[in-house]
Amino acid sequence: MQTALSYLVAARHQEIHELEQLNRTCELVRAVSELVHRLQNERGVSNVYLASGGQHDAARFDARITSSELTKADVLKWLEGIQPGEGLAGGSRLFTRIAIALNALEALPHIRENIRKRDGSPLKSSERYTRVIGSLLSLVFEAADVSVEPKVARLLVALFNLMQAKEYAGQERATGARAFAIGQVCAGDLKSLTDLIDLQEQCFARFETFCSQSVLSQWQALQATMPLADIERMRRKLMAANMQLDSALSETWFETCSQRMDDIHLVETHLTTGLQQACQLRIAQTQSELEDQQALLTDLSNARSMAPSCVLVSELAQAQGQPELLAGHAMGSRLTGAIFDTLQTQTRHLQAVSEELISVRAALDERKHIERAKGVLMAHQSLSEEEAYRLLRQKAMNQNLRLVDVAQSVLSIAEFLPKRS
């Protein structure tokens, strides 16, 4: 039983190591959420700047770039501080996502240079920013997917969905601003707006399912003060497709949407703080379990050296499920009882953890199926990402199915589809 206990102690040491890696991953996620927010700001201002033909907001654009670069430098510096071997939770998968995100970030100087030269449309430059932001969001998604601590994994799923909702809100802001500026909504923009609003709502719902009570309260309180009615009123005008839009509303729309995004970011920050607290709490709990188990191990060695046979008898009685035989072996009985309880607790804990992770993973799996099905359609039908999404959604609506079910049926026949070259 001493050997069993030693492995239990080794398991706690290992668990603390894993939680520390997870804690570091959460620090990275926090920095990434800040960088995404700055890049969304920069993208927004770049749109206004380009739409004005470079007349407005040149200085504001520069200020946004400086702000993004400062946060990017924080992320890079944080990454440099990671000792090799110390590692992050999720190991190789997270490192690969970091590589992909860093590669995407290196496009920024060129995106900005093009904007300053007013080379390319606001739409085109938006799309480039969106790709960079997408690679950062995928990093947060991966962090949630590889986390094996259910409470932290739940919060990471909440955070990813909140960030993804804000990103759709940012894309909606850009599309709406463009429409107000030219005074009308084209059919393509109208479809995009419908999709983006729909997607935001799905993400917010999932965020609400997985976030903590304290974040949910803050979110509900904040929504009461958000300019939601103003946004809905302007959305209604945008959606009335054949109407001439008041181009003076462009700026109001942009500012109102931006304020909402800043508010969402406040909740993100609250959530990332909660994430790190959850990690630290689990580390402290595991530390205390470790100390208890180490104390048991010491007691057992002492008892064995004092009265080996007595301990053996009590262990055997325990193993046999006959604790009544333990009478008269008081110390041994207390000890083996404690060891037995500890093992029982750990078994239940393992079972609970692995069960809780199932629901977390189900939430992530939906996105994986949909992303993968989009990829298949893009490759086989030469569609853009947006067109692929719309095709899936159309199928789902026509057949009254969930999007994820349509995605799965696409995946199940993927290997039979001809490949377009």
How far apart are CB 181 and a second copy at their closest, in Å? 25
Of 6 and 71, nearer to a second copy (C-beta) is 6
Give helix then strand counts, H and E, for the chain: 14, 0
How far apart are CB 180 and a second copy at their closest, in Å? 29
Q: How many residues bind a second copy (CB under 8 A)?
A: 63
Residue 305 binds a second copy (CB under 8 A): no
* Rounded distance between C-alpha atoms, residue 330 and residue 186, angstroms: 83
CA-closest candidate to residue 164, choices 121, 198, 187, 114: 198
* Rounded distance between C-alpha atoms, residue 406 and residue 312, angstroms: 61
Residue type, 189: D
* Rounded distance between C-alpha atoms, residue 397 and residue 392, angstroms: 9
How far apart are CB 225 and a second copy at their closest, in Å? 35
Residue 74 binds a second copy (CB under 8 A): no
Phi, psi of 240 (to 5 degrees): -80, 80
Q: 123: which residues sit within 8 A by CB, 6+ positions away?
A: 178
Residue 142 binds a second copy (CB under 8 A): yes
Of 276 and 318, nearer to a second copy (C-beta) is 318
* Rounded distance between C-alpha atoms, residue 395 and residue 139, angstroms: 29
How many CB atoms lie under 10 A from the CB of residue 379?
A: 14
How far apart are CB 188 and a second copy at their closest, in Å? 21
How far apart are CB 377 and a second copy at their closest, in Å? 14
Binding segment toward a second copy, per CB under 8 A, in 14-22, 62-70, 213-221, 263-271? 14-22
How many CB atoms lie under 10 A from the CB of residue 56?
A: 15
Cβ atoms of 279 and 23 closer than 8 Å: yes
Residue 12 binds a second copy (CB under 8 A): yes
Beta strands in 124-253 (DSSP E): none
Binding segment toward a second copy, per CB under 8 A, in 8-16, 179-187, 270-278, 392-400? 8-16
Q: Quick one: tokens of 59?
A: 């200085």
* Rounded distance between C-alpha atoms, residue 217 and residue 219, angstroms: 5
How far apart are CB 98 and a second copy at their closest, in Å? 5
| Selected binder of a second copy within 72, 128, 206, 260 (CB under 8 A) | 128
Residue 290 binds a second copy (CB under 8 A): no
Cβ atoms of 32 and 164 closer than 8 Å: no
Residue 303 binds a second copy (CB under 8 A): no
Q: Quick one: tokens of 92?
A: 């190789």
DSSP 232: H
Of 196 and 360, nearer to a second copy (C-beta) is 360
Of 76 and 182, nearer to a second copy (C-beta) is 76
Residue 315 binds a second copy (CB under 8 A): yes
Q: How many residues does the chain have?
A: 421
Cβ atoms of 191 and 390 closer than 8 Å: yes
Residue 10 binds a second copy (CB under 8 A): yes
* Rounded distance between C-alpha atoms, residue 78 and residue 161, angstroms: 24
81-120: which residues touch a second copy (CB under 8 A)? 84, 87, 91-93, 95-100, 102-103, 106-107, 109-111, 114
Phi, psi of 397 (to 5 degrees): -70, -45
* Rounded distance between C-alpha atoms, residue 78 and residue 70, angstroms: 12
Of 267 and 297, nearer to a second copy (C-beta) is 297
Residue 301 binds a second copy (CB under 8 A): no
How far apart are CB 205 and a second copy at their closest, in Å? 20
336-375: which residues touch a second copy (CB under 8 A)? 339, 343, 346-347, 350-351, 353-355, 358, 361, 365, 368-369, 371-372, 375
Q: Quick one: tokens of 68?
A: 């993004």
Residue type, 267: V
How far apart are CB 288 and a second copy at their closest, in Å? 15
Residues that bind a second copy (CB under 8 A): 1, 3-8, 10-15, 17-18, 76, 79, 84, 87, 91-93, 95-100, 102-103, 106-107, 109-111, 114, 128, 142, 145-146, 148, 315-316, 319-320, 339, 343, 346-347, 350-351, 353-355, 358, 361, 365, 368-369, 371-372, 375, 411
